[in-house]
Amino acid sequence: MGERARNVPVPLAAAQGPANLQALTSKPMLYVANVDEGTDEPPAELAAHAGDSPCIAVSARIEAELAELPAEEAGEMRTELGIDQSGLARLVRAAYDLLDLITFFTAHLGAEARARALPKEPPRGTPRAAFTATSRPASCAPRSSAGASSSTRGDMRMRGSAACCERRGGITSCETAT
């Protein structure tokens, strides 16, 4: 087996080489192991192969059984098995962590609520003031309408509901997925 592109030192003369090449092995990698019931950790061989890349364990058999159950029974079964989140939720969380993403929610009166995955940090060359997805200003929504008010989850708790915030003229919420 060859060397992964992300592990090869980049020569100074070709600093943009990796970005231009876009090699598959230069991309972030997440390993997911299908494990037997009762196994919480991925196999040691896979974890060793993954190196610094994240590696999670999911039992497809248990997930399939849980998917067929009503929500209440699935929750009880998860509790009995000591599983706090679904395999899908753990996979999504690991992917968000690997790619350093947050979920950005927007909602306006008369329009459906939307969720977008955004990087936690601004892209290179973007002034931080123009990219504040982790803070609260009304300017944090790239597609928000002028004059839309800003409400965080804390605002909604204080006012009692999202509907109370909507009555103020709209919601633009910047919160991370958990």
Q: Scanning the structure block, which residue is given the tokens 């679904």?
A: 86
User: pLDDT tens digits for 47-93?
Assistant: 998 888 999 999 999 999 999 999 999 999 999 988 888 899 999 99
Residues 92 and 116 in one domain: no
Identify whether residues 69 and 116 lie together within a single domain: no
Residue 86, classified by CB atoms within 10 Å of its CB into exposed (0-12), middle (13-18) or buried (19+), is middle
Domain boundary among 98, 121, 147: 98
Give residue 33's pLDDT.
Answer: 95
Q: How many residues does the chain have?
A: 178
Neighbours of 147 (CB within 10 A): 8
Do 128 and 146 lie in one domain? The reply is: yes
Q: Are residues 113 and 152 in the same domain?
A: yes
Q: Which domain holds residue 77?
A: 28-98
* Phi, psi (deg, nearest 5) at residue 118: -130, 150
* Residue 21 covered by a domain: no
pLDDT of residue 55: 95
Give domain status of residue 6, yes or no.
Answer: no
Predicted pLDDT at 121: 81
CATH number of the domain bearing residue 49: 3.40.50.300
Domain end call among 40, 75, 98: 98
**Does residue 15 sit within a domain?**
no
d(CA 120, CA 97): 10
How many domains does the chain fold into? 2
pTM of the complete model beyond 0.85: no
* Mean local confidence (pLDDT), 89-107: 91
Q: Which residue has the higher pLDDT, 142 or 43?
A: 43
